[in-house]
Amino acid sequence: MQVNILKIIISCLCLLFVCSFPAHATKQNEITSVRVWPSPQSTRVVFDLQQKPDFSYFMLKNPLRLVVDFKETKQDQVLPQVTGEHSVISKIRYSKPKKKGWVRIVLELNQSVKPVLFALAPTEPYTDRLVVDLYGKNPEKKTTPAVAKNRDISGDRDIVIAVVAGHGGEDPGSIGPSGTYEKTITLQIAKRLAALIDKQPGMKAVLPRTGDYYVKLNTRSERARQHKADFLISIHADAFVTPQPSGASVFVLSLRRANTETAKWIEDSEKQSELLGGAADVIKDTQNEKYLAQALLDMSMDHSMRTGMQVADEVTKELAKVTKMHKKRPQAASLAVLKSPDIPSILVETGFISNPQEERLLKTREHQDKLAKAVFKAVRSHFEKNPPDDSLFAKLKAQKPKENSVHKVRSGESLSVLANQYGVSVAQIKQANNLKTNRLLIGQTLTIPRS
């Protein structure tokens, strides 16, 4: 009897010991890799972990350092070397941990930074992550972009096209069946398109992203604006949950997004000044400031959307000559990159990277060249017909004899739609075509007089 009681007591003590043993001791986290993404304005450091990170951080001065403590984490990972392309960070190293079983990592800094740290849940192809964004507080003084040097002086400036490569850095975008990243394809096509634009006299390309790093959505348009871009083209590759869909598409700003963004600009005085320039100073002293700003912004947005649709229509036609189209007409979408009232823009989905055949095509130089040339041809054609007044294209156009345009009527089009599209009046179109009524027939060919 005493032996049985002793056994019961020993069993209870063992159970008590197991229950009281720290749960985290059997669930110690581990850093599986560390990746560093440089960009001109910031650096992103990403820690891949087996589990969700439990962390804290603080800054130190003399010298400048960011210290990150990982609780209950192994110190097995070799840290990457920091190359000279990083302007913010100089070294990543281990330091003596705050507690046993923790990991302390020190980021040695070249300048004062604004650190932003956040955890990311697992998403293919990544596990749990801790992202450290370091934004420099002392950027070099901004200089006027060389591309705009003739904008207000000689009257023969370059037309500036911002070519935005989608995704980048920690954001790979869609991933093809063989592991191709959308961010890689978009940058390759963007660079090919930019090279064609730069070769064209009177045109100049701006690339907000030139390497494998992420550019925030809300800063892409801002960078284009800093270079006084006349037009913005965002390059992407589509994807779907099944491999069947294929083909390219062209998107323009939706009216809903346009109205939302205009309202935001009205409430932001800095944005108003950015967009309206000298007009902002004039309307500050009026009682109807917001109404005047609203009218000017509406006019700018109307021009932006009309121009975007015209270019999208031409890009769609040119792409159809070199690749299969998923959508045969431009589509309206509420996309963040297509939001600036002052910069007309389109988004080009170059194909479905989720389709095995199209993924192979998108990786080839030949197909990328075809896509880039089609987009370039359409954009150049548009600005040859509709050049900014102070551009070289306008000067060259003035030296040519004026020619009328030809338009084939499509479903849903009316005289008022065409007049708005080409910047002429309904009466002018009727007179040029000897029309007695406003009725149009699908397939009818119209002469569009010069505006």
Domain ranges for the chain, please list them: 24-136, 152-393, 401-448
Report H helices in 200-267: 217-226, 255-267
pLDDT in tens, 324-339: 999 888 887 766 555 6
Q: Is the pLDDT of residue 291 over 80?
A: no
Nearest to 130 by CA among 47, 206, 13: 47
pLDDT in tens, 232-283: 998 999 888 888 989 998 988 765 554 444 445 434 444 444 444 434 444 4
| Between residues 264 and 147, the one the model is more confident about | 264
Q: Could you say which DSSP state residue 142 is in?
A: P
Tell me the sheet residues that pair with 251: 331, 347
Q: Do domains 24-136 and 152-393 have the same CATH topology?
A: no
Q: Is the pLDDT of residue 6 over 70?
A: no
pLDDT in tens, 208-219: 889 888 777 667
How far is 4 from 10, CA to CA, in rounded Å?
10
CA distance to 147, 186, 193, 195, 202, per residue, from 199 (Å): 14, 20, 10, 6, 9
Q: What is the pLDDT of residue 279?
A: 40
Q: What is the pLDDT of residue 160?
A: 95
Mean pLDDT over 426-432 rounds to 91
Q: What is the pLDDT of residue 290?
A: 47
pLDDT in tens, 90-122: 899 999 999 999 999 999 998 888 898 999 888
Residues of the chain with pLDDT > 90, as a percent, come to 40
22 residue type, one letter: P
Q: Among the ranges 137-141, 213-217, 316-320, 331-335, which has the highest mean pLDDT value? A: 316-320
CATH number of 24-136: 2.60.40.3500
In whole numbers, what is the pLDDT of the chain averaged over residues?
Answer: 80
How far is 197 from 150, CA to CA, in rounded Å?
17
Nearest to 88 by CA among 45, 24, 30: 45
Contact yes or no for 309/230 (Cβ under 8 A): no
Q: What is the 3-state secondary structure (H, E, C) of 36-94?
A: EEECCCEEEEEEEECCCCCEEEEEECCCCEEEEEECCEECCCCCCCCCCCCCCEEEEEE
Mean pLDDT over 419-443 rounds to 89
How far is 296 from 95, CA to CA, in rounded Å?
57
CATH number of 152-393: 3.40.630.40
Q: Is the pLDDT of residue 146 over 60?
A: no
How far is 435 from 446, CA to CA, in rounded Å?
10
Q: Is the pLDDT of residue 288 over 50?
A: no
pLDDT band at 343 (very low <50, low <70, confident <90, very high): confident
Q: What is the pLDDT of residue 376?
A: 97
Q: Is the pLDDT of residue 444 over 50?
A: yes
Contact yes or no for 187/165 (Cβ under 8 A): yes
pLDDT band at 294 (very low <50, low <70, confident <90, very high): very low
Report H helices in 277-425: 278-283, 289-319, 356-363, 365-385, 392-398, 415-422
Q: Is the pLDDT of residue 15 over 60?
A: no
Tokens 């507690």 -> residue: 99
pLDDT band at 7 (very low <50, low <70, confident <90, very high): low
Tokens 């939001």 -> residue: 339
| Between residues 46 and 263, the one the model is more confident about | 46
CA distance to 62, 123, 144, 206, 262, per residue, from 149 (Å): 41, 45, 8, 14, 29
Contact yes or no for 235/163 (Cβ under 8 A): yes
How far is 65 from 44, CA to CA, in rounded Å?
15
Q: Could you say which DSSP state residue 180 is in?
A: -
Torsion angles phi and psi, residue 180, rounded to 5? -70, 130
Q: Among the ranges 181-185, 214-218, 237-241, 308-312, which has the highest mean pLDDT value? A: 181-185
Other Cβ atoms within 10 Å of 350 Cβ, number: 28
Q: Is the pLDDT of residue 39 over 90?
A: no
Mean pLDDT over 433-443 rounds to 91
| 95's tokens | 């330091």
**Topology of the domain comprising 401-448:** Membrane-bound Lytic Murein Transglycosylase D; Chain A (3.10.350)
Q: Is the pLDDT of residue 429 over 50?
A: yes
Q: Among the ranges 43-47, 123-127, 211-215, 285-289, which has the highest mean pLDDT value? A: 43-47
Q: Is the pLDDT of residue 26 over 80?
A: no
pLDDT in tens, 354-406: 999 999 999 999 999 999 999 999 999 999 999 998 899 988 888 776 667 88
